[in-house]
Amino acid sequence: MEQFSLSKVNEVVTKKSQFTEQLRKNIRKVIVGQDQLIDKIIIAILADGHILLEGVPGLGKTLLVNTISRLINTKFQRIQFTPDMLPADLLGTLIYNQKLGKFETRKGPIFSNIILADEINRSPAKVQSSLLESMQEKQITIGENTFKLDKPFLVMATQNPIEQEGTYPLPEAQVDRFMFKLVVTYPNFESERLILRNNTNSSVTSAIDSIVDPKVILEAQSVSESIYVDSKIEDYVLNLISATREPKKSGLDELENIIDFGASPRATINLIKAAKARAFTEKRGYVTPEDIRFIGKDVLRHRIILTYEAEAEEMSSDDVIDRLFESIEVP
């Protein structure tokens, strides 16, 4: 019976995931040299998760998000976060209508499908918390009225790793709300040559049309939830997370004084959700250890807090995660 249901899930996934290849192909026409980043953003959309992007300016983060929103035919808002920003600038506020003699709700830019929160660490804590609350609750309260946000709803927040002056770093508890923390790197030599040609030649156009309806995305999210996860895969994930909290018990004595705080239960949930979405993009009805390894760093790098000793030894959270994957037995 289980084998029959698994084959049925495989069949549905193969059928419903056809659009992902087309989506990937069209994004790559505009965004060059960031293939793995594109794959992971598609995974986040299918897993209904939010993304924190870290990278220096000029790497095409805004263009990437804009391109995806146009291909999915959704509403897109780019919000530039600044130190003088107020929560009302993001969420909306009540405006008094003199003609009618009553207050009316004016909705803010958060009422969209895909939000690019540019330089989120430039805004004060109140603005950050109002954004993160809307991410978690998927609803906004203005005055006495509560409004549900449209689906799909994806927040992609960016932060600049090299500029810390005049910024308000996100607290660890708030960073935990993001499914992925993706590090955007420089393109390689040949990729940059293509970027150069595409952006200095007026005959090369980046006009793109929508190819996916939001309903298709919502259906894909539902199908990816039904993807099969074996108990051995669950054990693998639980062992990984447990090793971040008590490395000594997992035989990782050398990490005992390196990790200050391990990953939260939200990391466990997000690892499985993202792995299911990755399996969906690979047209599979079941999760493999490779799916966990593919998205492991992105789910864990912002959830493992390192000690001062780790900084002294110049160890990053990525180094710690590599060590975890090397040590924990793969099913």
Q: In b/e form, how buried is each residue of 187-221, taking b as 16+ CB within 10 angstroms?
A: beeeeeeebeeeeeeeeeeeeeeeebebebbeebb
pLDDT the model gives residue 163: 59
Q: What are phi and psi of 303, to 5 degrees?
A: -110, -10
Q: Phi and psi of 264, rounded to 5°? A: -85, 170
pLDDT at 167: 65
Q: What is the pTM of this model?
A: 0.87
Query: Two tokens at 151?
Result: 């689906």
Query: CA 306 to CA 315: how far, in whole Å?
Result: 9
Strand partners for 306:
259
Report long-range pairs for 86-89 (Cβ below 8 Å, ≥24 apart). 86/126, 86/127, 87/126, 87/127, 87/130, 89/127
CA–CA gap between residue 132 and residue 263 (Å, rounded): 19
| Phi-psi label, residue 99: left if phi above 0, alpha if psi -120 to 50, beta otherwise | alpha
Structure tokens at 83: 């130190």
Identify the burial level of 11 via C-beta atoms within 10 angstroms of its C-beta, where 0-12 means exposed, 13-18 middle and 19 or more buried: exposed
Domains of the chain: 50-178 (3.40.50.300), 226-324 (1.10.8.80)
Q: In the 8-state DSSP scheme, what is residue 77?
A: E
Cis peptide before 152 (omega within 30 of 0): yes
Site of tokens 């508890």: 173
What is the predicted pLDDT for the residue at 164? 60
The whole-number pLDDT of residue 277 equals: 94
Strand partners, 104: 95
**Cα angle 285-289-294, degrees, rounded to a multiple of 5:** 95
What pLDDT shows up at residue 201? 65
Rounded to an integer, what is the distance from CA 107 to the centroid of its chain? Answer: 25
Note whether 302 and 52 are within 8 A (CB): yes
H helix and E strand count, the chain? 14, 11
Q: What is the mean pLDDT, run by run of 10 residues, along the chain of 331 residues?
A: 65 85 86 85 92 80 81 86 88 84 85 88 84 84 84 86 65 83 83 76 61 89 91 93 88 84 91 94 92 93 88 86 88 79
Closest to 152 (Cα-Cα) out of 196, 96, 217: 217
Q: What are the φ and ψ backbone dihedral angles of 149, each rounded to 5 degrees?
A: -80, 145
**Cβ contacts of residue 84 below 8 Å, gap of 6+?**
none
